[in-house]
Amino acid sequence: MARKVLGYIELVWTCDSCGTRNPGAIRSCTSCGAPQPIDVKFDRVDPTTFNFIKDEALIRMAKSGPDKHCPYCGTRNLAETQICVECGGDLTVGATSRPAGAVIEDQSASSPATPTIQSAPASQAIPRRPLPKWALIVIIIMLLASCVFGVMYFTRMSQTDQLDATVSEVYWQRQVALEAYQVVRASDWEANIPSNAQTYNCQLRYRYDSETPRQNSEEVCGTPYTIDTGTGVGEVVHDCYYKVYEDYCSYDTMQWVVVNTLQEDGYGTNAIWPSTSLGTDQRFGDSTERYSITFSTSGEDYQFTTTDYDLFQQAVPGSDWVIEVNGFGDVTGINPE
């Protein structure tokens, strides 16, 4: 997020020795003369409003960088000063710059920028109680039961019987999709729409956030806060980003669309494909075929379904086959005798 400067405000500091509140730009206590300590804490004069400084010189000072403390007498000097205003000492070597960049927190409890801790207490995690014994026993029984069931299932699946069977009925079903090349209404971001499509009904919609302004973007900024510049003047900033809007449009495009499904079915081993005379801008699409053979054994009837037309054509009613039947009564394989 981009940090934007709104302006500069005067800060205050409290003298460690006598407790006097002094303006931030005053470098020694107005009451007892004690120099401002390097680790002094600045506060806002008025935590509820920002009274922006209009004095250009003061703003320039705030922008020039953090003040530095004389290595000889401790006096605070402006960033660009080379000789200490108090003792004449050389500030080009060994001078300590004041800390800068920290966010000055609002003192007022009612301030919305620093909401008082109302979030759910983090330490509310309920200590996990160990599972009671009966629950463990139930879990073990359920695990054992599912093992037994699994074993039984696979045993029945793999257990196959070979049976002599006769084809008693054959049935086939074939389907073909009928497609037409026609106008389809769709909608998408304008940039994604094919160039030959007819676009209409475009509307700006929020699409993404950006650090920098874009075409059709809206700036969104957070609550302003104050930064210690190290000069006794606070820089009021807020963090901003841009909500970017783009055109979302409806459009017409030509596409192949399934308009009908043609079907043929019948009893007997000779199947045919459904057909029709195609109109202009029509074609046949995907096709499916399904063949079903009913086998009779001495005891029961079994159904077998396949898509293999060659195999189906051999299943002439009355012919004899050997079929494989698993434990669930499903036919898993067929062979002509």
Q: How far is the CB of 28 from Zn ion (least distance, A)?
A: 8
Q: How far is the CB of 20 from Zn ion (least distance, A)?
A: 5
Question: How far is Cα of residue 34 from the mean position of the Cα atoms in its chain?
Answer: 56
Q: Which residues touch 127 (CB under 8 Å, ≥6 apart)? A: none
Q: How many residues bind Zn ion (CB under 5 A)?
A: 16
Q: Is 95 in the site for Zn ion (CB under 5 A)?
A: no
User: Which stretch, 10-18, 46-54, 121-129, 313-321, contacts Zn ion (CB under 5 A)?
Assistant: 10-18
Full strand arrangement of the beta sheet holding 68-69 = 76-77, 68-69, 96-97
With respect to Zn ion, which residue has the nearer C-beta, 74 or 224? 74
Q: Is 83 in the site for Zn ion (CB under 5 A)?
A: no
**CB contact burial 180-215 (16+ within 10 A = b; e otherwise):** beeeeeeeeeeeebeeebebeebeeeebeeeeeeee
How far is Cα 242 from Cα 173, in angstroms, rounded to an integer? Answer: 59
Q: How far is the CB of 86 from Zn ion (least distance, A)?
A: 4
Measured on CA atoms in the order 134, 138, 143, 145, is the torsion positive or negative? positive
Q: Is 81 in the site for Zn ion (CB under 5 A)?
A: no
Q: Is 165 in the site for Zn ion (CB under 5 A)?
A: no
With CB under 5 A as the contact rule, the residue among 9, 10, 11, 15 that binds Zn ion is 15
Instruction: Outline where DSSP puts E strands in 46-108.
Output: 68-69, 76-77, 96-97, 103-104
User: Which stretch, 81-89, 102-110, 182-190, 207-215, contacts Zn ion (CB under 5 A)?
Assistant: 81-89
Q: How far is the CB of 102 from Zn ion (least distance, A)?
A: 23
Q: Is 26 in the site for Zn ion (CB under 5 A)?
A: no
Q: Which helix or strand (DSSP H or E) is residue 302 part of? A: strand 301-306
Task: Kindly report the number of other CB atoms within 10 A of residue 122's CB atom.
Answer: 7
- Name which of residues 242 to 281 contact Zn ion (CB under 5 A): none
Q: Is 78 in the site for Zn ion (CB under 5 A)?
A: no
Q: How big is the chain by its Cα radius of gyration, in Å?
A: 43
With respect to Zn ion, which residue has the nearer C-beta, 34 or 227? 34
Q: Is 84 in the site for Zn ion (CB under 5 A)?
A: yes
User: Which stretch, 24-32, 106-114, 169-177, 289-297, contacts Zn ion (CB under 5 A)?
Assistant: 24-32
Q: Is 70 in the site for Zn ion (CB under 5 A)?
A: yes
With CB under 5 A as the contact rule, the residue among 78, 86, 216, 282 that binds Zn ion is 86
Question: Rounded to whole angstroms, what are the CA distances from 167 to 27, 174, 313, 335?
Answer: 108, 21, 12, 12
Q: How far is the CB of 69 from Zn ion (least distance, A)?
A: 8
Q: How far is the CB of 94 from Zn ion (least distance, A)?
A: 11
With CB under 5 A as the contact rule, the residue among 1, 3, 4, 17 that binds Zn ion is 17
CA angle 24-29-30, nearest 5°? 95
CB 314 within 8 A of CB 167: no
With CB under 5 A as the contact rule, the residue among 32, 135, 144, 184 that binds Zn ion is 32
How far is Cα 211 from Cα 305, in angstroms, rounded to an integer? Answer: 61
Q: Is 30 in the site for Zn ion (CB under 5 A)?
A: no
Residues that bind Zn ion (CB under 5 A): 15, 17-18, 20, 29, 31-32, 34, 70, 72-73, 75, 84, 86-87, 89
